[in-house]
Each structure stands twice: as structure tokens, then as C-alpha cells.
Structure 1
């Protein structure tokens, strides 16, 4: 007795079920390790995509170390100061100081030949310097004028009183010395007091 179409269909289903069980319980590594049909490798890991323009992607560069910016308030090296101007005295001419150069008895009275000036820049050794200005002129001096002097007129660093004769004798022996004196005059215009200063021109 031949099988009917129903029996044939049942047999086909049984065969499919058997094949399915065999595929599930078989070695699962076979398909993963072996090449896939048609020579196409199976389960190949994805490679990183190439950058636009071709070539392999370059490794990332390490981040540059940050350099602290120079502070605007940080003090820098002090700049050398510009050279100062040459020493120049701005003192006005002294009204009662003179540099004495010579003596003359012309005109029947004694006169000192002098130049006016003012104290200016230090001279050699750092001493104050009397700077003369203008032309030489003469001032009459009274015979009884009160006069004080020190070195080199007298052998002393302290002012000593001297006579007009002693002064004129020294000036005649040492012309153009330029010793500095402070003085006062009478109403008549004659020197009545004359005192030698500590510094010279």
C-alpha cells in the first residue's frame, strides 16, 4: 500500500527538523574560523577607515605643554638710566662775592681788580667751585677796611685779621690767584669789610 501525500509531507518535516538539530549541536567554531564559501573571509575585524585623500591614519600627536605667558606685571630688568646732563650751575651771580686777581693804586686810591661770579659745579677733589662771569672790573677798598684771611695768605685754616697793606703785598707777589672773598661796601662805594672764603676758583 502506497503512502499518500500526507505521509510524504510528514517525512520531509522530520528530515528538516533533524538537519536543524544537527546544525545547532555541531562544532560552532568551524564556520567562524574557516573561510566562508566563495573564498570570502568570515568575521574579519573592521579596520579603521582611511582619511580622506588616502594613506593610513597618522597617530595622534601628544598635546603640547602649555607655557605660562609672561605676566604683564612681572618686574623686568631695570633699564639703565640715561646719562644725566653735564653739571651746569643755575645759581645767580652772587652780589657780594668776588674773585680777586690784582691790586692797583691808580687814581690816588687803592682798588682791587676782581671778577664777579657764583658757586657752580664741584672742582677737582669735589670742592665747591666759584665760576666767574663777565669782564674784570675794579672796586676801591678803604684804607681802614676790616679784612680777614686764611691759607694761603696766612699760615692758618682759621680766618685771621690782616691789614690792607698785608693783603696788597700778598696780591702783588701772587697775581691772578683768584682767591674768593665776600665783601660789603660803604655808601661811598668803597669796600669796608672783606673776608676770604674757604674755596678758590
Structure 2
């Protein structure tokens, strides 16, 4: 009886061994050295292109500075225009000058040298402007007189003394020039001082 049981056990062991061997040859054992590797899952594709970064909106950007006009090298910027000159007219004239006359001519009548003159005003440019009627003012023979250009030539700008005869001699050849002079009258109403005002 025991012998029959032993044979049955041996037979069962033999069947198990055959089954195990068959399984190994078919590749069912994943640990066997002859097992074929299973197919690996495909790797996800790698992105080769970089996504374009959108440019920042101009609405959020800082405002650009205004363009400036460059001055060419070696040239200075244009100078500002000068202010317009004031308009001269009667409203800008000063009152009649009490000590300035425009000498036009002279006359020796009555035995005394008399200058024919006009009074006037200083206009807004600063020049003496004769106006009104011609009048007569006697001048002393020894009056203190100084003259500049044009009586003493175009280059004389500083007053130099001249005599009454030298003045009347110039008036003979240059009548009606209306040169401005400052004058002073003595107690008798005769010119004793006469100084020419230089005019460019």
C-alpha cells in the first residue's frame, strides 16, 4: 500500500516538473533568462519648436519720448528774432526843447549877426526834430561856440571851439542843414554859448 502511494507521489512530481518545464519554454515565466522583453510603451514626442512669445501690448508700454531735431555739426541754432522797433509818431515826442535849436541860416542885417533857427523836439529815436516857424536869434561876436562833424569834417566827434565867423562861413556854403545846437542867452537875449550836438 505504501509502495502504491509513493509511486503516485512520484508520478505527480513528474507531471509538475513537465508542466513547469513547458511553461518556461513558452516564455510564461517573466523571471527566466530566456524571456523575451515586452514591447515598451512609445515615449511621448518631444516638442522641438518653442512657442512664440507674444510681443507686449503697446497700450501698457511706456510712452516714447518725442523726437528732437538734431542740429547739424558745426552749425549754431538760429538766433531768436529781435523784437520789433517801437513805432515812432507824434505821441512819442517830447515837449519842445527849451535849450536846443536847429540852425538853418544866418543874416548880418541890422549890424549884428543873427541866426535863423527852428525850435523842435526829440523824437523817439533820440534825434532832434525841428518844427514850427523859423525865428531869429542874435549871436555875440565873441560867443563861445563848439562844433563837431560835419562842420569840422566827418571824423570829428568831439566838440572843438570855433569862432562866430567860422560858423557863419560854413552856413554860407551849407544852408538849411538844420544842425542841432544847444544854446544859452545872456541878459540881453543874445546867444553867448552855442554847442553843436553830434549826430551820426
Q: After TM superposition, list the pairs within 5 Å mapping 1:39-50 onto structure 2.
A: none
Alignment deviations for residues 63-88 of structure 1 (CA, whole Å, 9 cap, x no partner): xxxxxxxxxxxxxxxxxxxx998422
Alignment deviations for residues 24-65 of structure 1 (CA, whole Å, 9 cap, x no partner): xxxxxxxxxxxxxxxxxxxxxxxxxxxxxxxxxxxxxxxxxx
How many pairs align?
113
Whole-Å Cα distance in 2 between the matches of residues 157 and 84 of structure 1? 27
Name the structure 1 match of 2:88: 87
Name the structure 2 match of 1:159: 159
Alignment partner of 1:109 is 2:112: yes
Whole-Å Cα distance in 1 between the matches of residues 112 and 199 of structure 2? 28
Name the structure 2 match of 1:168: 168
- Could you list the runs of 5+ residues in structure 2 that have no partner in the other structure? 1-83
Whole-Å Cα distance in 1 between the matches of residues 142 and 102 of structure 2? 21
TM-score (norm 1): 0.53
TM-score (norm 2): 0.53
Alignment deviations for residues 138-160 of structure 1 (CA, whole Å, 9 cap, x no partner): 10000110000011111321110
Name the structure 2 match of 1:28: none
Whole-Å Cα distance in 1 between the matches of residues 151 and 111 of structure 2? 25
- Could you list the runs of 5+ residues in structure 1 that have no partner in the other structure? 1-82, 123-127
Change (3 A) 1:168 1:86: same
Aligned-residue Cα RMSD (Å) equals 1.8
Change (3 A) 1:145 1:84: closer
Q: Of the two, which has the highest radius of gyration?
A: 2
